[in-house]
Amino acid sequence: MTEQPRLVVLISGRGSNLRALAEAIRQGRLRATLAAVISNRADAPGLAFAAEQGIPTRVVSHVGLSRAEHSAALLGAVRPYEPRMICLAGFMRLLAPSFTQAFAHRIVNIHPSLLPAFPGLEAQRQALDYGVKVSGCTVHLVDEELDHGPIVMQSAVPVLDDDTPETLAARILAAEHKTYPAAIERLLHEPWTLEGRRVVFQSSQGT
């Protein structure tokens, strides 16, 4: 059997999306292997999960480093694993152009809002405060701007009148756990092109 495409996952914390990717791989919904999990924080719970699963782990701390220096260190850590794609899963640092350009169109992120609405931190609270009736999650290609690159897939969830940031976050997270593996599976295994900002999957065209 040919080797599945290799993914390196970058995390900073809990790692529930990392778990969702691992589960999707186990179930055959995502045809890939997790080559490594890299965290900027040694105490990230997701790192412990990866280690339990026998996935190679690395810590590349950002402390005391500029963004460019941290990205250079990350690049050095990621490259030996020769990933097809790099998946950001709750990774809380911005990547420098040196990194995003080295893996152009091969880095994905998941964000808990329907971008371009509510980029940045506390997206669920931003959505509640604004009063939107629908929110959701977005998988996008990563460029050097925050939560900005071309959109791969989005899933919507309702915002309910009695939602708190926590209840809305939980509803969105459930959508994230389905959407992220599905988006990565498509990127890896279906032909697609980038037309301006639009990610166009060939199989969805022209019916």
CB of 94 to ligand GRF, least distance (A): 12
Is residue 154 within 8 A of residue 135, CB to CB? The reply is no
Asked if 110 touches ligand GRF (CB under 6 A), the answer is: yes
* Selected binder of ligand GRF within 4, 6, 14, 84 (CB under 6 A): 14
Asked if 83 touches ligand GRF (CB under 6 A), the answer is: no
Which one of the listed residues 62, 111, 140, 177 is annotated catalytic? 111
Asked if 149 touches ligand GRF (CB under 6 A), the answer is: no
* Selected binder of ligand GRF within 17, 39, 100, 179 (CB under 6 A): 17
Give the C-alpha separation, 93 to 12, whole Å.
8
Radius of gyration for the alpha carbons in the chain, expressed in angstroms and rounded:
17
Closest CA to 176 of 120, 124, 111, 126: 111
Asked if 136 touches ligand GRF (CB under 6 A), the answer is: no
Nearer to ligand GRF, 111 or 186 (CB): 111
Question: Does 148 qualify as catalytic in the annotation?
Answer: no
Task: Name the residue whose CB lies closest to ligand GRF.
Answer: 90
Write out the residues near ligand GRF by the rule CB under 6 A: 13-17, 46, 89-90, 110-112, 173, 176
Residues belonging to the active site: 111
